[in-house]
Amino acid sequence: DYQSLAVKGVQALSPYQPGKPISELARQLGLDPAAIIKLASNENPLGPSKMAIAAAETALTELCLYPDGNGFELKQKLSQRFGVGADQITLGNGSNDVLEVIARCFADASSEVVFSQYAFAVYPIVTQAIGATAVTVPAKDWGHDLDAMAAAVTERTRLVFVANPNNPTGTVHDSGAIEAFLDKIPQNVLVVLDEAYCEYMTGEKDPDGVALLSRFPNLIVCRTFSKAWGLAALRVGYSISSPTIADILNRVRQPFNVNSLALAAATAVLDDEDYLQRSREANTAGLKQLQKAFDEMGLRYIPSSGNFVAVEVGPHAMGVYQALLAQGVIVRPVAGYGMPNHLRVSIGLPAENEQFIDALAKALVAAG
């Protein structure tokens, strides 16, 4: 029985459930893939930045070479952008990779790792894969209960994961709340502030983990090029931390974990402020469009600060999901997160949002 041979924490895991691919649904329904819309993986609906595409194309001529294992140029660019040293940056194959490296560097089978109920699905995976104990703290109003999370820290706690904004709930804490939380965490416990969606936020009180790094040496801020920067396929994320922590992460990181196309495109997209601005504007408008429609339909939703929104469709959520699929609309069930009455829908272009809303109205009737 090979199930019982897997390490205990892995036996207790379920695999990460990605959004259903468009090609698979198109085949199932016998439809042209162009007729399907996918609002299931919090992808950027604008398509990639032209500057990123051009840079990746140029990098194609070097496919036979290993990438720059230190990501020199990308780190330089990030270091200028954030006013931090290049030696504070750790690059990853998506920020998921960085999250995993952090867990492997700082926790082991004797450790506890704290995160919130309804938090991002990768936290239990990277925790349990190394045999550490996951401590899941009950959420408050669907968001992280930061006081309860601080109170959950014991002498065995090595890491705390905070997703801000959180996926799949879209909940966020402002800078002041994060700072007050960090004040409560002992210096020998690392706090991973996962800001995958932070570029969508524009307000003054919005969280900015990078600004807190100088005060909190135990802080690691994680960010990604997958969302507002529109490069999910290439898999590039990074952390910013103290140089000491970055040095530790660098020992365990796979030598060539970010490929050349990804490095080239991410370096180039940082010069495309216009793309970032359009991502933000499209997201703000799309979020309004969906929330207005939910209001009109009498559906409750969790106010979101990300590029997605969790809408409450009731106990037949899986039926609603299936009825949406039958109409060529892919969204994300979140029952696996313990949210069986919600579906998570990513913000699309205006026409996609409209198609989703029309399909949702029909799906709600079909699912009873």
Task: Tell me how far apart the alpha carbons of residues 191 and 185 are, in angstroms, rounded to a whole number.
Answer: 8
Question: Within a 10 A sphere around the Cβ of 180, how many other Cβ atoms?
Answer: 14
Subset of 30-49 contacting ligand PMP (CB under 6 A): 42
Q: How far is CA 86 from the centre of its chain?
A: 23
Out of 170, 207, 237, 333, point to the residue binding ligand PMP (CB under 6 A). Answer: 237
Number of residues that bind ligand PMP (CB under 6 A): 13
Does 232 bind ligand PMP (CB under 6 A)? Our answer is yes
CB 252 within 8 A of CB 69: no
HEC assignment per residue over 66-133:
CCCCCCHHHHHHHHHHHCCCHHHEEEECCHHHHHHHHHHHHCCCCCEEEEECCCCCHHHHHHHHCCCE
Q: Looking up tokens 């949002």, which residue turns up? A: 353
* Residue 97: CB minimum distance to ligand PMP, A: 7
Q: Give the residue among 323, 316, 321, 341 at the shortest CA–CA distance from 332.
A: 321
Minimum CB distance to ligand PMP smaller for 279 or for 355: 279
* Residue 237: CB minimum distance to ligand PMP, A: 4
Out of 94, 230, 286, 333, point to the residue binding ligand PMP (CB under 6 A). Answer: 94
* Residue 352: CB minimum distance to ligand PMP, A: 19
CB 231 within 8 A of CB 266: yes
CB 137 within 8 A of CB 145: yes
Q: Pick the stretch among 89-97, 179-187, 289-297, 350-358 that binds ligand PMP (CB under 6 A).
A: 89-97
Minimum CB distance to ligand PMP smaller for 16 or for 66: 16
Q: Looking up tokens 């997160």, which residue turns up? A: 337
SS3 285: helix
* Residue 75: CB minimum distance to ligand PMP, A: 16
Out of 117, 169, 226, 289, point to the residue binding ligand PMP (CB under 6 A). Answer: 226
Out of 116, 224, 239, 327, point to the residue binding ligand PMP (CB under 6 A). Answer: 224
* Residue 334: CB minimum distance to ligand PMP, A: 12
Task: Tell me how far apart the alpha carbons of residues 292 and 295 are, in angstroms, rounded to a whole number.
Answer: 5
Out of 96, 260, 279, 289, point to the residue binding ligand PMP (CB under 6 A). Answer: 96
Q: Pick the stretch among 30-38, 88-96, 211-219, 262-270 that binds ligand PMP (CB under 6 A).
A: 88-96
Question: In this structure, what token pair is assigned to residue 112?
Answer: 């506890």
Does 164 bind ligand PMP (CB under 6 A)? Our answer is no
* Residue 87: CB minimum distance to ligand PMP, A: 21
HSE (CB half, 13 Å, CA atoms) of 77?
A: 16
Q: Pick the stretch among 4-12, 90-98, 149-157, 249-257 that binds ligand PMP (CB under 6 A).
A: 90-98
Q: Pick the stretch among 93-101, 200-208, 286-294, 314-322 that binds ligand PMP (CB under 6 A).
A: 93-101
Minimum CB distance to ligand PMP smaller for 237 or for 328: 237
Does 19 bind ligand PMP (CB under 6 A)? Our answer is no
CB 267 within 8 A of CB 55: yes
HSE (CB half, 13 Å, CA atoms) of 242?
A: 12
Q: Which residues bind ligand PMP (CB under 6 A)?
A: 42, 94-96, 120, 163, 167, 194, 196, 224, 226, 232, 237
